[in-house]
């Protein structure tokens, strides 16, 4: 006789577990979720991922470090304007097609 084996679907396919790279506790994850939802209500045009990144940045660096960076103007540095232009447009030569001149 054949034995019928029944398995739960959870045994075959594990449920999705969200990534937690900063090792937040369950309470910290709940606070994070609430803060992100509140920020999305206040700033509806900002993408959700950006809100999540900012939350994680503030949580990881701490309020004192963020205030120091803002007050020192570290985030306001100018981008290097000495970029090199050219590339393929300045290195190619466009030649006329001489094969059609019969």
Residue ranges of the chain whose pLDDT lies below 50: none
Measured distance CA(53)–CA(70) in Å, rounded? 17
pLDDT of residue 81: 65
pLDDT of residue 102: 52
Let me know: does 36 contact 52? Beta carbons within 8 Å.
yes
Q: Is residue 101 part of a domain?
A: no
pLDDT of residue 42: 96
pLDDT of residue 52: 94
Q: Is residue 97 part of a domain?
A: no
Q: Is residue 5 part of a domain?
A: no
Q: Is residue 29 part of a domain?
A: yes
Cα end-to-end span (Å), the chain: 87
> For 57, phi and psi rounded to 5 degrees?
-60, -45
CA distances for 39 relative to 10, 21, 42, 50, angstroms: 35, 21, 5, 11
Q: Is residue 1 part of a domain?
A: no
Instruction: Report the predicted TM-score, pTM, of the whole model to 2 decimal places.
Output: 0.56
pLDDT of residue 99: 73
pLDDT of residue 88: 57
**Domain total for the chain?**
1
- The domain of 25 spans 21-73
pLDDT of residue 3: 80
Where do we find the tokens 């590339």?
87
Q: Is residue 98 part of a domain?
A: no
| Two tokens, residue 22 | 């900063």
Measured distance CA(85)–CA(6) in Å, rounded? 66
Q: Is residue 58 part of a domain?
A: yes
């Amino acid at each position: 006789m054949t034995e019928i084996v029944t398995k739960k679907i959870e045994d075959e396919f594990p449920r999705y577990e969200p990534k937690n790279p900063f090792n937040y506790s369950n309470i910290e994850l709940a606070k994070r979720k609430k803060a992100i939802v509140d920020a999305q209500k206040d700033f509806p045009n900002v993408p959700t991922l950006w809100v999540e990144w900012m939350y994680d940045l503030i949580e990881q660096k701490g309020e004192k470090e963020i205030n120091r960076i803002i007050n020192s103007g570290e985030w306001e540095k100018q981008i290097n304007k000495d970029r090199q232009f050219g590339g393929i447009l300045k290195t190619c030569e466009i030649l006329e097609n001489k094969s059609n001149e019969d």
